[in-house]
Amino acid sequence: MTLILRRLAFFMVLIAIWEIIYRIYSKDTTLFPSPLGSVQQLYIGLFDTGILATALGESMQRIIIGFSMAVIIGGILGVLLGVSKLADETLGSLVIALQSVPSIVWLPIALVVFQGGPGAIYFVVILGGTWAMTLNIRMGIKNVSPILIRAAKTMGYKNTELVWRVMLPASIPSALTGARLAWAFGWRALMAAELIGRGGLGRTLMDARDFFNMDLVVAIMIIISVIGLIVEYLIFSKIEKKVLSRWGLAKNA
């Protein structure tokens, strides 16, 4: 309860500072967003006109599909790089090189390849999350204790069975980190891609800017931030606690 109150107090202070800055700048311009105006636009867009509700639905569909594909593709590549020295020395170098390329850079090519269709945005989101997932799975497998592997071999585990029953379970904490990063990078890539693409929160934000509706711009930014908080605190943090407790890595373990 203390933590919740502390966070509420913090955000109330931020809103108060925002209101003060708004009152200062509102004397010179009508474009500066206000806290009350942003909340009103949030309510109108979600419950009145439904514009924000529709955009949010489109964005969530894209991130869920893109994130799922990134986890699957990244997981497969990570296992391959973790168990194969040849793949790690060749394909691994390409993955590291591609990780340094911002996923949004691929959007112009994706728009040409997919002819401006929704596939372009999915492509960018998948790229945004795949490499983080790949490298974390790779690291998790390579950091499996040699003693654990030798013990498994002594018990008769070989090749595929060794990977599925020993290496992968032992690398789950790293996989969770990879999934968390894949979501974060994919979510950012989605917002950036939608600024140029069609539909979703990003496109709605650009439309609001074109109509000089700064209150709506901030309302969309609030939605984007809240989604990030929900996913982090209500999903990944809870899963992380269970995983760390299961693997004996929790602080109170």
| Model confidence pLDDT, tens digit, residues 90-136 | 999 999 999 989 888 998 898 889 887 889 999 999 999 999 999 99
Query: CB–CB of 75/137 below 8 Å?
Result: yes
Let me know if residue 168 belongs to a domain: yes
pTM (2 d.p.): 0.88
Let me know if residue 207 belongs to a domain: yes
Number of folded domains that form the chain: 1
**What would you measure as the largest C-alpha separation in the chain, in angstroms?**
77
Residue range 8-36: mean pLDDT, rounded: 88
- How far apart are alpha carbons 250 and 66 in whole angstroms? 30
pLDDT the model gives residue 201: 94
For residue 46, the domain's CATH number is: 1.10.3720.10
Domain that includes residue 163, residue range? 39-245
Let me know if residue 21 belongs to a domain: no
| Model confidence pLDDT, tens digit, residues 40-92 | 999 999 999 999 999 999 999 999 999 999 999 999 999 999 999 999 999 99
DSSP line for 118-164 = THHHHHHHHHHHHHHHHHHHHHHHHTS-HHHHHHHHHTT--HHHHII
| Model confidence pLDDT, tens digit, residues 173-199 | 899 999 999 999 999 999 999 988 778
Let me know if residue 22 belongs to a domain: no
Let me know if residue 26 belongs to a domain: no
Instruction: Give percent of the chain above pLDDT 70.
Output: 97
